[in-house]
Amino acid sequence: MAAPYQMSGFPSAQGIFPPMNVPSKRKLASTDDTIANPDTSNLKRTRIGPLGFENGLPDAFPGSLPPEYAQNGYGLQIDGQSDRDIEGVDGDGDGDTEENKEGEEEGEDEEAKDEGPPRSKRHTVAREEEEKGIIKFETVVNDGDRRSMIILTGLKNIFQKQLPKMPKEYIARLVYDRNHVGMAIVRDGLKVVGGITYRPFVQRKFAEIVFCAISSTEQVKGYGALLMSHLKDFVRPQGMVHFLTYADNYAIGYFKKQGFTTEITLDRSVWVGYIKDYEGGTLMQCTMLDKVEYLKMFEILDIQKQAVLDKIKQTTRSHIVYPGLTIFKSGQVMEIDPMSIPGVREAGWSMDMETMPRRQPPAPRGPLWAAMSQLTNDLKKHNQAWPFLEPVAGVADYYEIIKEPMDLRTLGTKVDEGAYETMEEYARDVQKIFDNCKQYNEPSTPYVKCANALERFFQQRFKQKRQEVGR
């Protein structure tokens, strides 16, 4: 699962955030108040809990990487440490001290006592791990905070590994860009195992999903579906009700399962010129429903399904299961009243139905049918039979000229229905195929040549079959 797939036209990059003239990326309109000249004086870090911001998502973020984070290849140096070397920080960002561990274990025990809502049958491994606190879903922006930078770097590394055809510099540029937001799946402290980078257009009520990937070692656990559900429930209260994304061929299936479609209903004036265009990608859209809490989607569907089944039970008896008969266990042959069998009377059966006429079994097929059927199949398999396999269609005057049309499909149907009593009757219909072709087409056409070749083949095989049948 990865989106998008590939971009073209990149010049050689120098560093993480060089100016890049990407032909396939349209210029953003400077009049959009969510992205142009943002006022960053009041911007502050307001993250709370594993998901969300205290006062919602700011309309814009400062647009460059702080100078204290120096470039280190494709990564970062944070307080002298490489992004690939930062370990030992727990989920609270305060280190794995014994005191912290004890406090967390006590908190987990208290949470385990809460029963919570009834579990859906489709509860995934990801949901179970989230409930146990093994994984967390965190939203993160480039706010200059140490923890934020570690998570963003983890997202960058995941995307660069899972999207090998995407330029690494381009991925880093967007992940760290402060107009973009990341939602990461975090486990074991600060280990990022998957996530999404998206760009919110709050005033235009949609968000662009730029990257989406799960670590190859953590797939088939339901992380991707749960991640998308978290994202939907997070952005919807902020007024964004649409997602747009460019998906590659491998990601289309995933996005369709998450409610995306290739039918774009959002007006072009809303998004053209604002989202990034990718060569070879498929544009997909998802429109969220106001009354659906996507993290409880399976529970909602289970309730709806049960409501339908309960309604069906009010009008049918198909759900009632009767016990089996025990009268035959003795091994003795005895006669019983059919109406005494549980469920027979309730099903509406009566003794009159036993005397109703039944469908007659099909008449046995003899050697005549076998010969005609074999001969028809041989004609269909001939390499010159292609013009005659189906009835003629799309020719305006054909049925004005040809009064008795015939083709191999119609011929086979008549054979199966027992329409021919003799081989001669069968041969007359076969001959109509060739005669009609020669009547309608010029002798030099490929159709007539096919008819002549197939006619010679039929005459030889017909003589053999007629001798075998004897009539």
Residues marked active site are found at 208
Alpha helical stretches, state H, 222-290: 223-235, 252-257, 268-271
Cβ atoms < 10 Å from Cβ of 399? 11
Q: Which two tokens stand for residue 277?
A: 């265009």
d(CA 247, CA 280): 9
How far apart (Å, rounded) are the C-alpha atoms in residues 66 and 223? 32
Closest CA to 159 of 211, 235, 99: 211
User: Which residues neighbour 110 within 8 Å (Cβ) at sequence distance 6 or greater?
Assistant: none
- Determine if residue 166 is left, alpha or beta; phi over 0 gives left, psi from -120 to 50 gives alpha, anything else beta: beta
* C-beta separation of 277 from 24 below 8 A: yes
Residues constituting the chain:
471
d(CA 293, CA 436): 66
Listed residue (186, 204, 193, 202) closest to 51, CA to CA: 186
Residue 9, number of CB atoms within 10 A of its CB: 11
Token pair recorded at residue 88: 């030992």
Tell me if residue 9 falls in helix, strand or coil: coil
Q: Where are the alpha helices (DSSP H) in 292-407?
A: 297-315, 367-381, 398-401
Q: Tell me if 214 sits within 8 A of 154, measured CB to CB.
A: no
- Spatial contact of 255 and 284, defined as CB atoms under 8 Å apart: yes
Report CA Rg, the chain.
36
Q: Is 9 in contact with 24 (CB distance < 8 Å)?
A: yes
Q: Which strand (E) or helix (H) includes residue 448?
A: helix 446-469
* Cβ atoms 13, 167 nearer than 8 A: yes
CA dihedral 432, 434, 435, 440 (to 10 degrees): 120
CA distance 167 to 163: 9
Inter-CA distances, 307 with 81, 301, 304, 321, 367, Å: 57, 10, 5, 20, 57
The 10 Å Cβ neighbour count of residue 210 is: 24
